[in-house]
Amino acid sequence: QKEVEQDPGPLSVPEGAIVSLNCTYSNSAFQYFMWYRQYSRKGPELLMYTYSSGNKEDGRFTAQVDKSSKYISLFIRDSQPSDSATYLCAMSDYSSASKIIFGSGTRLSIRP
């Protein structure tokens, strides 16, 4: 069983829709939770970072962590065509924070 599970999609939604991306994980030691965005032919770039449980908002993006359910989410409001990319969840534990475990990514397409 993978430590991090992510629905690969692809997910296609119309412009302006609210997008929900999710990951589940099995390692209860994970403390750091990240969402990376990867455009085609580019490296991943950090979008959101959360420590432990709770919500974090940054503009149109909201990251949620529910450690009791081992479930994390990324919400995108008022989605734009420029949000079309692959979104990777990632996480690590305190003892090896440099070693990040990545999900397989969800491919998102926003239709104009």
Partner 1 sequence: EADIYQTPRYLVIGTGKKITLECSQTMGHDKMYWYQQDPGMELHLIHYSYGVNSTEKGDLSSESTVSRIRTEHFPLTLESARPSHTSQYLCASSEARGAYNEQFFGPGTRLTVL
Q: State how far the Cα of 47 lies from the Cα of 35, in Å rounded to an integer.
A: 5
Do the beta carbons of residue 111 and residue 19 sit within 8 Å? Answer: no
Pattern of binders to partner 1 over 32-51, x per CB under 8 A? x--------xxxxxx--x-x
Q: Would you tell me how many other CB atoms lie within 10 Å of the CB of residue 48?
A: 20
Count of residues touching partner 1 (by CB under 8 A): 24
Region near partner 1 per CB under 8 A, out of 16-24, 59-67, 68-76, 99-107: 99-107
- Which residues contribute to the site for partner 1 (CB under 8 A)? 2, 4, 8, 32, 41-46, 49, 51, 88, 92, 94, 97-105
